Amino acid sequence: MSENKINIPELMRNNELFQTFMEESIEPIWCFELDKPISLDLPEDEQFNLFLSRAYLIENNRAYAQVVGYERREDLLGMRLSEIMPPSIPENAESIKQVIRAGYNLRDFVTVEYYKKKKITALNNIRGVIEDGKLLRLWGTGRDITAQKAAEDELRQAEQRYRTVADFTYDWETWENINSSFNYVSPSFERITGYRVQQLIDRPGMLNEIILPDHLTQWQEHRQAAHTRHETGEIQFRIRAKNGQIRWIEHICQPVHGDQGEYLGVRASNRDITARKQSEIMLRSAYTEIEQLKNQIEAESAYLQEEIKLEHNFENIIGKSESLKYVLHSVEQVAPTDTPVIIMGETGTGKELLARALHKLSPRGKRALVKVNCAALPRELIESELFGREKGAFTGATTTQAGRFELAKGSTIFSG
Q: What distance separates the 2 farthest-apart alpha carbons in the chain?
A: 154
From CA 40, how far away is CA 53, in angstroms rounded?
Answer: 16
Res 101: pLDDT: 92
DSSP letter (8 states) at residue 24: H
Confidence (pLDDT) at 322:
83
Report the pLDDT value the prediction gives residue 162, as an integer from 0 to 100.
67
One DSSP character per residue, 244-285 reads: S-EEEEEEEEEEEE-TTS-EEEEEEEEEE-HHHHHHHHHHHH
341 exposure class (CB count in 10 Å sphere: 0-12, 13-18, 19+): middle
Go through 101-128 and write b for each residue having 16 or more CB atoms within 10 A of its CB, e for each that does not: eeebebeeeebbbbbeeeebbbbbbbbb
Tell me, what's the pLDDT at 45? 94
Pairwise CA distance, residues 121 & 393, whole Å: 115
- Distance, in Å, from the CA atom of 354 to the CA atom of 365, rounded to the nearest integer, reads 13
Q: Round to whole Å and give the CA distance between 318 and 304.
A: 16
Taking Cα atoms as reference points, which of 87, 61, 96 lies closest to residue 76?
A: 61
Task: Determine the pLDDT at residue 32.
Answer: 94
pLDDT of res. 315:
58
Closest alpha carbon to 106 in 213, 5, 201, 202: 5
Specify the DSSP class assigned to residue 357: H
List 56's β-bridge partners, or say none: 33, 80
pLDDT for the residue 1: 42
Per residue of the chain (416 residues), what is the pLDDT tens digit? 444 555 555 555 566 666 676 777 788 898 999 999 999 999 999 999 999 999 999 999 888 888 888 888 898 899 999 888 888 888 888 989 999 999 999 888 887 777 777 787 888 899 999 999 999 999 988 888 877 877 777 777 777 766 666 667 789 999 899 998 998 898 999 999 999 999 999 999 999 999 999 999 999 999 989 988 888 899 999 999 999 999 999 999 999 888 788 899 999 999 999 999 989 889 988 888 888 888 777 766 665 665 555 444 455 677 778 887 788 888 888 888 888 888 888 887 788 888 888 888 888 878 877 787 777 777 777 777 778 777 767 666 677 777 777 777 888 887 77
pTM (2 d.p.): 0.42
What are the structural domains, with CATH classification, of the chain? 8-144 (3.30.450.20), 161-272 (3.30.450.20), 337-415 (3.40.50.300)
C-alpha 374/C-alpha 13 separation (Å) is: 145
